[in-house]
Each structure stands twice: as structure tokens, then as C-alpha cells.
Amino acid sequence: MYLPRHHILTRLSPYRRHFSHSAAAVLRPPEPEPLTYLDGFPRPDPKHDETILAVPRADSGKNISAKERRAGRLPSIVFEQEDGQHGGNKRLISVRTDQIRKLVNHLGRSFFLSRLFLLEVRSGFDSENDVVETVRVLPRAIHLKAGTDAPLNVTFIRAPSDALLKVDVPLVFRGEDVSPGLKKGLSTWPGKSSGHRLNLMLVGFM
């Protein structure tokens, strides 16, 4: 049945909801609180920061990667978490193999993958005045050659100050020599019988 336009509007009008400006402000999602450092905890020391140098890479593939490694470069990519299902603004890059090997040997693989670095992408490694991109990154994955632990490739994720990233943080145990429990004959939990999770009670923490 055909109804005139004014009849349709009359029938729909009881279902319309009117919001005031104050109600609209309540419905607006709150702004996220800025992330900051916690009082009483150590902060990163800038003197230990290291900038990872990189150059753009046009192509990918096994042959290209092998050619890069022979030239002393490590095939890498850098992307971001946002819109990751569509590539996350991925950029193909190459980094210096000796620099990554030095960092992994000095920090250890776990600490390398849990530390922020400044990544500077240049048109060439020696082109200090031609910077393509400078961004804070977190190493997401690194593949090492079995037997020699030579780095094969590394993946970085952009880590701006407002990013919320999942990071595998290593646990460091100190004071085992003065632990009352260990002195009584107890021992740390062996890796072969390690549990699948660790429960921490956060009640009372500020």
C-alpha cells in the first residue's frame, strides 16, 4: 500500500530521540590518559640509546635476501600495529648485519626483543642529510641461523608514545645467594617443569 510522505514521517516521529548538547558530550568516548613513568621506578638512560640505521629495500624474495646478506645487510621490515591486517604501513628495509649482531650478542635475544630503539631510515647508510623516516621501534622478531646464531632477518614494529604493544619482558632473579628459602634447601623452579602461567596479586599496588 502506498502512503503519502507526510504519513510516513508522522508514523516515524514517535521513535525519534532528541539529545541535548550535554547528553552528546556524555556519549563522546573519553580521551585516553597519557602514558607516563611510575614514581620510584628507574627510567631509561638516554646515554644507552642506540639508533639502528636502515636503508629502503625495493624488492623481497629469497634471492634478494641472499644478495643482501652477502653485502653485509640484513633484510628487514618495519610496520605498525594499526591496520595490521592490511599491511600496517609496511616498509621494506635493510639494516647492517654487524650492528644487529652486536646488539643481540651484547643484550641477549630476549632483551633485544623487549627494548625500544630509534630507527633511522636513510637513502644510503652514509647519507646523513637524506633521512626518509625516523621512528621509535620495538624489535618484534629475529631469525637466527641454527648452529651459528647468525642473524637472518629482523622485524620491527613502530612504537609511538601512544601505542599499546604486547611485549615479552624477561624476568631477572637477583639475590639468590641471600634468599632465605634457597638457604633452607629450596631451589628455583627448573625449566623442564615450568608452569604454563604466573599469577601475580596486584591488590595494594598504587
Spell out the domain ranges in the chain: 51-158
Q: What is the grid cell recorded at 1?
A: 500500500
Q: Is the pLDDT of residue 161 over 60?
A: yes
Which secondary structure element, helix H or strand E, spans residue 26, and what is its range? helix 21-27
Distance CA 61, CA 69 (A): 12
Helices then strands (H, E): number in the chain? Answer: 6, 6
What integer pLDDT is reported at residue 163 of this predicted model? 82
CB 74 within 8 A of CB 94: yes
* β 73-79/131-144 pair status: unpaired
| Side-chain-side CA neighbours of residue 142 (13 Å) | 21
Query: Going by CATH, does the domain composed of 51-158 fall within 3.20.10.10?
Result: no
Region 23-38: mean pLDDT is 62
Region 159-164: mean pLDDT is 85
- Return the percentage of the chain with pLDDT > 90, whole number: 32
Region 21-45: mean pLDDT is 62
Distance CA 105, CA 148 (A): 12
145 Cβ contact partners less than 8 Å away, ≥ 6 residues apart: 151, 152
- Report how far apart, in Å, the C-alpha atoms of 36 and of each of 7, 39, 41 are: 58, 9, 11
Query: What confidence tier does 75 reach under pLDDT thresholds 50, 70, 90?
Result: very high
Rounded to the nearest 5°, which phi and psi values hold at 174?
-120, 155
